[in-house]
Amino acid sequence: MTKGPIPDETPSNLQEQLLLEDAKAGNAIPIQGGADDLLGDAPRLVALYGGQPENWFKMTSTQAFVINGASVQVHWFQNNQTGQNVEIKFKRLYPKTAPKNQ
């Protein structure tokens, strides 16, 4: 069964809002997708939003902010034929802590 659309995530603070605006202004790069690297989500994206599987890319912002101890980037899916951006989310990476010496 195909999963439905994933709603866009809303920025939770000013830094996330600025990061999202920067990404929407074109400061982003594809990290997966296209004919040579089809997304696992491509069939779901085609079923929900249209287009061809090779036209869908996973995108990430080129900027990252440290917010509350996490490095935050924006990720979303983009159809490179229509320019449609869907399923925007904020990816938060927290630093790993070193194990304690005993």
> pTM value?
0.85
Write the burial class of residue 11 (CB in 10 Å: 0-12 exposed, 13-18 middle, 19+ buried): middle
What's residue 100's pLDDT?
Answer: 72
Alpha carbon distance 47, 33 (integer Å): 16
92-101 per-position pLDDT tens digit: 999 887 677 7
Kindly state whether residue 101 falls inside one of the protein's structural domains: no
Residue 51's domain spans which residues?
16-93
76-86 per-position pLDDT tens digit: 999 999 999 99
Kindly state whether residue 1 falls inside one of the protein's structural domains: no
> Percentage helix, strand, coil, to 5, in the chain?
20, 35, 45
Kindly state whether residue 11 falls inside one of the protein's structural domains: no
Write the burial class of residue 54 (CB in 10 Å: 0-12 exposed, 13-18 middle, 19+ buried): middle
Domain count along the chain: 1
Q: How many C-beta atoms lie closer than 10 Å to residue 42's C-beta? A: 20
Q: Please list the pLDDT of the chain residue by residue as tens digits (102 residues).
A: 458 899 999 999 999 999 999 998 999 999 999 999 999 999 999 999 999 999 999 999 999 999 889 999 999 999 999 999 999 999 999 988 767 776
